[in-house]
Amino acid sequence: MTEQPMDLAGPQPQPPEHPPEHHVAGTRRVKRRLMFAVIGLYALSLAAAAVVAIRAPVGQKGKKDGEESLLGLSSKETVGWVSIHGVIYNDGVRAWDKGAYQWARRIRMMAETKGVKAIILDINSPGGSVGAVQELYSQIRRVRKEFNIPIVALFGDVAASGGYYIASACDRIVAHPGTLTGSIGVIFSVDNVEGLFSKIGFKTEPIKSGPHKDIGSWSRAMTKEERDILQGIISDAYEQFLTAISTGRNMPMDKIRPLADGRIYTGNQALDAGMVDALGDSDDAVELAAKLGGIKGKPKVKREADTRQMFLDLFESRFAGAGSPADWLSRLGLRSGLEYRWAGFR
């Protein structure tokens, strides 16, 4: 009889048993259901918060006496309220960013709302790009003329440069004593990383149709001729700024020019300089707007309630509370272009 060889390794471990396929499929279904349930609950919470936001004025814990949303059905004479907060550009990086066109549309919608006899523009902005600021300025003046409706600007923490530019299109300006305003002027920021590129061995070779096609390039130093060209653009845009203030505020140019060296002012200093019409708070602004609009008695305030925009703002606050990419590029000084913007704002 032949002897069987001895198994020195001992008993071999059995391969693990695979769970039945129906068990794996069931587990996956449970996980999917849980995931959809969590997503559904979160969506419901956002919707509920949006409803609460619609029923209450934006940025307020609740309504003050006499306040109502734009969705209200009341046709009594009211003062409309539109907020312009943040850096002003024509549009943003995301589809739902508020830009000059969106703000202009909301101002027009408020003017078209039944019963609105005057509008408050709640401005808290350091300004923005030249084109966007000029767009808002023109639209504000157009709405005033087309609807024969007074518009009062109310300054918040900051209403500088382009923020002041758009306010000059309004009938009156009310500022807090400590508001930072002014910064009348233009800036064109050009970054230069030529030194950094040389250290890491990176070099660009532009092929261009003309000697100034890459003016403002951050990969090389600016020439004197290019600096003169850009300074000419700055000077022209600066004169446009002064003309807009002179037209909107009915101020002579020789009174504006000494104030327009780029410095900032408190609301108190701005009042002394004739840059604003009154110092006060939101109630004072509403009272002034109501008076200009011919509203008798204590006025009601009708705040904008763009449901879609408010929902997207709420969504953004959950996932991007730090601000938009455009805002951060601007704050870091990495967004180039011609701007009516206070560069010291962070």
Is 224 considered catalytic here? no
CA distances from 145 to 17, 142, 171, 320 (A): 81, 5, 11, 38
Q: Which of 69, 83, 125, 161 is flagged as catalytic?
A: 161
CA 64 to chain centre: 25
Q: Which of 213, 255, 298, 317 is flagged as catalytic?
A: 213
Query: Which helix (H) or strand (E) element contains residue 262?
Result: none
Query: Which helix (H) or strand (E) element contains residue 122?
Result: strand 116-125
Q: What gap in Å lies between CA 303 and CA 299, rounded to an integer?
A: 13
Q: Which of 140, 196, 137, 144 is nearest to 164 (CA)?
A: 137
Report the interhelical angle of 224-249 vs 130-147 (nearest 10°): 20
Q: What gap in Å lies between CA 270 and CA 273, rounded to an integer?
A: 5
Is 74 considered catalytic here? no
Active site residues: 161, 213
